[in-house]
Structure 1
């Protein structure tokens, strides 16, 4: 396993991060703890969760993932783990979280941090992330910006000032973004420089063979501003494992939660998955190995967030770190991408 300083001066994190969004919904607490133990044994020191998890989000399981991680963390040396969590933004219909949530303002960010600290049973959070922008943005499968949907929102400077207070108090140690766009990353970076406010060390965005939108604008922005990419959904909700090609009802979130993950229901997804699965087999790889190794070893990926519902899946995902795509394989991947560009942005 490799370790990197996130964003150049953030925490030292493993190149593979264990995501926990299934804990409390698809995975019991015992299963979640077994996954955490397995990941740590194989060199992972980076754990990601969020106040809104488990996923799909609902009131009954809100905060369950953090609670499960917190109960596990309580029996380990705290300094041995880099713990990341996220504050939910408004405009997602999550009325059970902080009564809205209403905004990413000072009061809401403080309440969100305090709630996460209680559930995680810790005195500090290593990486605290804004789960998605408060402002109007196309997110989670939407793909067109619509200025007609503009709304009042907390200024970015005010968000940074609220985070600065929490940093000064020692409740959080580093800050990051999630599901951000180039304009947002640049605004956060510029305001941090101009006003001596906290610098965002990372952004957690979807990145996989079906969604390489990050490469178009964010790759340059993040490189120049020293913002590390935490790539999530490297297997595209399991589609890139190839399991849904032969059996659309194969076990997984797609079958378990109809209507969830609509970006992967778009018409270009299946032919792209078929092409990548065939390419993997020609090179003696499984589709999972191809998809994960591609993301793991991109120059701009600081750490890749993987998730699983079984230990067998987790073992396969971790083992894929050892697969290094050759130059010829990368050329063939790009050739497929040219004909099947971003079917699930």
Structure 2
């Protein structure tokens, strides 16, 4: 298992991160605990969750349940707390199930951390992330009509300063160790970095954005920022919600799959996406590669990659994903992947 730096924190995280967003809906507590045990035994030292999880669907009745399930495991395994990096996320503006949809601020941060720590049954969070910016984001298919012109720069920067002061207070109390972003832009990340440098507040260590063979918005400005500022990418949906496994080809919808619960796959369903997936599946087949292994191993080749977050509804899916750490892609495969990307750019 390759280990990579978590920003400039001195912490190291595994190339694969155990995603947990199905814990409590599609994945039961006993199965979730079994997954955590297996992931740690396999060399993964990185677990990612969020206060709003589980998903499929997100509901008022289930928010927080994933943290509770992880917390029950932590309570049962107190001696292992130093063996892994635990990451969770503060929901952004508009999440009505928390704080009536209030924006992230110095008022909400202590409250949100109180609640996460209680559910997680731990004294500290290693990586505390903002799930999405208060101002909104071009992520989740908003890139097609993204318009930042209504944003008010002074208000955004003032809020960032306010949040950084609150984060510093939490670091001083020992309740969080470091700070990360999610669904952020190059401009936004640069502002957080600039303000942290000016004030001595916690520096952004990571950015958790969507990234896969089918979704490569990170490849330009964010890539440059990541490399130059040592802010690594935590790639979510590296298997494109299962599309890259091939299980949805030719109209298939396996029982219990994400598509059976969310037919649009969060906006990823499109007329072009399955042709694009077919191109990558063909590369894997011709080179004798499991497409899951190829997709995850390809993430390792990217210069800005810190860790790829994969979610496994079942234990069998977890075992399959773990096999990616034993796979290295040849230059020929990488070149064919780049050719497929040029032929099928941005399929959703």
1:258 aligns with 2:259: no
CA drift of 1:80 comes to 1.3
Provide the rounded CA distance (Å) in 2 between the counterparts of 1:213 and 1:139. Answer: 9
- 1:263-297: CA deviations, max 9, x gaps? x1122211100111111101111221221111133
Corresponding residue for 1:267? 271
Corresponding residue for 2:59? 58
Corresponding residue for 1:129? 129
CA drift of 1:164 comes to 1.0
Corresponding residue for 1:301? 305
The unaligned stretches of length 5 or more in structure 1 are none
Moved more, 118-127 or 296-305: 296-305
The unaligned stretches of length 5 or more in structure 2 are none
- 1:70-125: CA deviations, max 9, x gaps? 1001122211121000000013xx3121222x011111111111100000000000
Corresponding residue for 1:36? 36
Corresponding residue for 1:19? 19
- 1:202-247: CA deviations, max 9, x gaps? 0011110001110111010111111011111010000000110044
- 1:115-156: CA deviations, max 9, x gaps? 000000000000000001111332311113224654765621
The TM-score normalised by the length of structure 1 is 0.95
Corresponding residue for 1:343? 347
Q: Secondary structure at the match of 2:333?
A: helix
Corresponding residue for 1:277? 281
Kept after mapping to 2: 8 A contact 1:51/1:87: yes
Kept after mapping to 2: 8 A contact 1:50/1:86: yes
Kept after mapping to 2: 8 A contact 1:175/1:202: yes
Change in Cα spacing, 1:145 to 1:247, as seen in structure 2 (3 Å) is: closer
Provide the rounded CA distance (Å) in 1 between the counterparts of 2:322 and 2:172. Answer: 36
Corresponding residue for 1:187? 191
- 1:32-86: CA deviations, max 9, x gaps? 1011111011011110000000013111110010000010011222111210000
1:333 aligns with 2:337: yes
Q: Secondary structure at the match of 1:123?
A: coil
CA drift of 1:260 comes to 4.2
**What's the C-alpha RMSD, in Å, of the aligned pairs?**
1.5
Provide the rounded CA distance (Å) in 2 between the counterparts of 1:292 and 1:324. Answer: 10
Corresponding residue for 2:97? 96
The TM-score normalised by the length of structure 2 is 0.94
Provide the rounded CA distance (Å) in 2 between the counterparts of 1:267 and 1:70. Answer: 41
Provide the rounded CA distance (Å) in 1 between the counterparts of 2:250 and 2:137. Answer: 35
Provide the rounded CA distance (Å) in 1 between the counterparts of 2:136 and 2:237. Answer: 23
**Count of residue correspondences:** 340
Provide the rounded CA distance (Å) in 1 between the counterparts of 2:341 and 2:141. Answer: 18
CA drift of 1:10 comes to 4.4
CA drift of 1:4 comes to 2.1
Q: 2:203 aligns with which of 195, 199, 206?
A: 199
Provide the rounded CA distance (Å) in 1 between the counterparts of 2:264 and 2:281. Answer: 24
1:87 aligns with 2:82: no
CA drift of 1:11 comes to 2.3
Provide the rounded CA distance (Å) in 2 between the counterparts of 1:324 and 1:336. Answer: 19
Kept after mapping to 2: 8 A contact 1:176/1:202: yes
Kept after mapping to 1: 8 A contact 2:179/2:206: yes
Q: Secondary structure at the match of 1:106?
A: coil
Change in Cα spacing, 1:183 to 1:298, as seen in structure 2 (3 Å) is: same
Change in Cα spacing, 1:260 to 1:327, as seen in structure 2 (3 Å) is: closer
